[in-house]
C-alpha cells in the first residue's frame, strides 16, 4: 500500500514550527510495512489543500493529513474536505460524547465551539481523539482512503497507533517492507562503506542497504519486502550475523538504541560506576548519560572544568602540566580523568578536553582537536581526535567518542575479566 502524507499549516511553511509530524508519521508507517511515497507541506488555503489531495490520491492508495481541524476561523480543513467530497457537515453524537467526557475530566465547561467540533462531513467516519476535541475524519471513495487528523502531535500519534495504522494494515495485500537498522561508531561513512564492501556485494537482491550518517554515527538500514514478518526477520538476521563477524567493534546497537543507553546497560550489568570531567563538551556528556532513566544506578556526577584553575582545584591537574602541554593535551586529559575518578571514588572516569571552535585553534592544534581519556581500575588511556570546524557537531562527536571508548573497555572486561 502506497501512502502519502500531507501536513497543513502556514507555520510549517515559514519555519516557525518544525514539522516533526512528518518524521514521526513516516517512521510509524514504515515500521508497519506501509510504503510512504511522498510528504508535502501546504498552506492553510483551500485551493492549495485541494491540489495536494488531487495529486496525492492520484499517486497513492491512502492519504494521511494533519492540521486545520481546530475550532478557530483559520482551521479550514474540515470545510475544505466537505467541498472536496461534495458533502455537508452533520452533528455526530458519538464525537460529541467523547468531547464532553474529555472536558469533564479537565474540569471545563462545554462551549458553543465544542459543539461545532462534533460536526463532521456526512460521508466520513469519525476517528476517536482521546486527547483532544477534534475527531479524526476517515473518508473512503473510489477505492482510495483519506484520513484527516489534528496537527497536535500527541493527539495525532494516539490516533495513528490505536486506529489508523491497524486499519490501513488490514487493507494492505501487497508484500510488506521490513527494516532493521544497525548502529555503528568509530569510522566515517566512506571508510565504513569500503570496509564492508565484500559483505554488501554478497547481499541477495531482495535485501537493500542504505547508509544513514549523522555526527559520530553511521546507521546501516537493511530493507526487504516480504509477505510474512518472520521470513523477513530471519533473512535480515542471517546477514547481520555475517556483518558482526566483519566489524564487531564498530557495531554498538540496533534500531532505537543510543550509545548512552548501551553504555549504561553495560555499567549496570557489571556493577560499575562512572564519573565525568568535561572541558570542551561543557556538560553535554553528563547530559547524555543522565538522559537515560535509572542512570543514578551507575553515574555519580561530573565536573565541568572549563577554566584551567578549576582543572587544578577540582581535578588535581598539575599546574606544570598545563604550562608544559596546554589544556588540550594527552597529559592534562589523563590527569582530569584520574583526578575525578579518585575524588569521586568511581570505577571509571571519562574526561574531554578540546577546541570546539569556531575560534581558538592553532596550526598545532586546529579547531576540532579533542583529547578523550578513560581512567579505570587498571589503567588510564587517552585518544586524540580531529573532528571538524562545526562547534555543535564537535561537542556531540566528542561525547559519543568518550562513551564509545568506555563501551569498548567494558566489553573487553566482560570477555576477559581480570583474575581475582
Segment 189-207, tens digit of pLDDT: 999 999 999 999 999 999 9
Which of 151, 171, 191 marks a domain boundary?
171
**DSSP-assigned letter for residue 218:** E
Q: Are residues 403 and 264 in the same domain?
A: yes
Q: What is the pTM of this model?
A: 0.76
Q: Are residues 245 and 276 in the same domain?
A: no
* pLDDT > 90 in the chain, percent: 82
Q: Which of 50-59, 73-82, 188-197 has the lowest mean pLDDT?
A: 73-82
Q: What pLDDT does residue 78 have?
A: 94
Decide if pLDDT at 420 tops 70: no
Segment 299-348, tens digit of pLDDT: 999 999 999 999 999 999 999 999 999 999 999 999 999 999 999 999 99
CA distance 162 to 169: 12
Q: Are residues 154 and 140 in the same domain?
A: yes
Which of 254, 273, 292 marks a domain boundary?
254
Decide if pLDDT at 122 tops 60: yes
Does residue 244 belong to any structural domain of this protein?
Answer: yes
232 is in which domain, residue-wise? 176-254
Task: Name the grid cell of 82.
Answer: 466537505
Q: Which of 61-75, 183-197, 244-258, 389-403 has the lowest mean pLDDT?
A: 61-75
Q: Where are the alpha helices (DSSP H) in 146-228?
A: 153-159, 165-171, 189-195, 197-201
Q: Are residues 269 and 186 in the same domain?
A: no
Segment 215-238, tens digit of pLDDT: 999 999 999 987 777 888 899 999
Q: What pLDDT does residue 249 have?
A: 95
Distances (CA, A) of 162 to 117, 166, 206, 282, 298: 21, 7, 31, 41, 36
Task: Name the grid cell of 264.
Answer: 549504561
CATH number at residue 102: 3.40.980.10
Non-local CB neighbours of 337 within 8 Å, separated by 6+ positions: 277, 349, 350, 351, 373, 374, 375, 380, 382
Q: Are residues 225 and 368 in the same domain?
A: no
Decide if pLDDT at 105 tops 90: no
Angle at the Cα of 412 from the Cα atoms of 394 and 305, rounded to 5 degrees: 35
Number of domains in the chain: 3
CATH number at residue 349: 3.90.950.20
Neighbours of 418 (CB within 10 A): 7
Does residue 356 belong to any structural domain of this protein?
Answer: yes
**DSSP-assigned letter for residue 161:** I
Decide if pLDDT at 285 tops 60: yes
Cis peptide bond upstream of 310, omega within 30: no
Q: Are residues 334 and 296 in the same domain?
A: yes
Does residue 420 belong to any structural domain of this protein?
Answer: no
Decide if pLDDT at 413 tops 70: no
CA distance 22 to 26: 6
Q: Are residues 19 and 155 in the same domain?
A: yes
Q: What is the mean pLDDT of the chain?
A: 93
Amino acid at each position: 500500500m502506497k501512502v502519502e502524507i500531507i501536513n497543513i499549516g502556514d507555520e510549517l511553511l515559514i519555519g516557525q514550527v518544525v514539522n516533526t509530524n512528518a518524521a514521526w508519521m513516516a517512521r510509524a508507517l514504515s515500521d508497519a510495512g506501509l510504503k510512504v511515497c511522498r510528504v508535502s507541506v501546504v498552506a492553510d488555503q483551500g485551493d492549495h489543500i485541494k491540489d495536494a489531495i488531487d495529486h496525492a490520491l492520484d499517486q497513492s492508495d491512502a492519504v494521511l493529513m494533519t492540521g486545520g481541524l481546530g475550532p478557530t476561523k483559520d482551521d479550514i480543513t474540515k470545510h475544505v474536505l466537505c467541498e472536496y467530497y461534495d458533502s455537508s457537515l452533520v452533528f455526530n453524537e458519538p464525537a460529541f460524547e467523547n468531547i464532553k467526557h474529555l472536558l469533564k475530566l479537565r474540569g471545563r465547561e462545554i462551549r458553543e465551539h465544542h459543539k461545532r467540533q462534533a460536526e463532521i462531513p456526512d460521508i466520513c467516519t469519525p476517528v476517536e481523539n482521546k486527547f483532544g476535541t477534534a475527531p479524526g475524519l476517515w473518508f473512503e471513495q473510489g477505492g482510495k482512503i483519506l484520513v484527516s487528523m489534528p496537527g497536535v502531535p500527541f493527539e495525532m500519534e494516539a490516533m495513528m497507533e490505536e486506529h489508523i495504522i491497524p486499519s490501513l494494515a488490514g487493507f494492505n495485500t501487497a508484500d510488506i517492507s521490513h527494516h532493521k537498522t544497525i548502529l555503528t561508531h568509530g569510522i566515517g561513512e566512506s571508510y565504513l562503506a569500503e570496509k564492508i564492501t565484500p559483505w554488501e556485494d554478497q547481499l541477495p537482491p531482495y535485501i537493500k542497504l542504505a547508509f544513514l550518517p549523522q555526527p559520530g554515527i553511521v546507521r546501516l538500514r537493511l530493507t526487504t519486502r516480504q509477505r510474512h514478518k518472520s521470513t523477513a526477520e530471519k533473512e535480515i538476521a542471517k546477514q547481520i550475523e555475517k556483518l558482526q563477524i566483519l566489524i564487531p567493534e564498530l557495531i554498538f546497537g540496533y534500531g532505537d538504541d543510543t550509545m548512552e543507553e548501551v553504555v549504561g546497560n553495560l555499567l549496570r550489568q557489571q556493577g560499575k560506576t562512572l564519573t565525568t570531567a568535561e572541558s570542551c563538551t561543557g556538560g553535554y556528556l553528563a547530559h547524555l548519560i543522565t538522559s537515560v532513566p535509572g542512570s543514578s544506578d551507575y553515574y555519580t556526577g561530573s565536573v565541568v572544568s572549563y577554566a584551567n584553575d578549576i582543572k587544578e582545584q577540582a581535578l588535581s591537574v598539575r599546574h606544570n602540566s598545563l604550562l608544559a602541554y596546554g589544556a588540550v593535551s594527552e597529559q592534562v586529559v589523563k590527569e582530569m580523568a584520574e583526578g575525578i575518578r579518585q575524588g569521586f571514588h568511581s570505577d571509571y572516569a571519562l574526561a574531554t578536553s578540546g577546541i570546539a571552535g569556531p575560534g581558538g585553534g592553532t596550526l598545532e592544534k586546529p579547531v576540532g582537536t579533542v583529547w578523550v581519556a578513560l581512567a579505570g581500575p587498571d589503567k588510564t588511556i587517552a585518544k586524540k581526535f580531529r573532528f571538524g570546524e562545526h562547534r555543535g557537531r564537535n561537542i556531540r562527536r566528542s561525547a559519543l567518542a568518550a562513551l564509545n571508548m568506555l563501551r569498548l573497555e567494558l566489553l573487553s572486561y566482560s570477555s576477559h575479566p581480570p583474575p581475582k
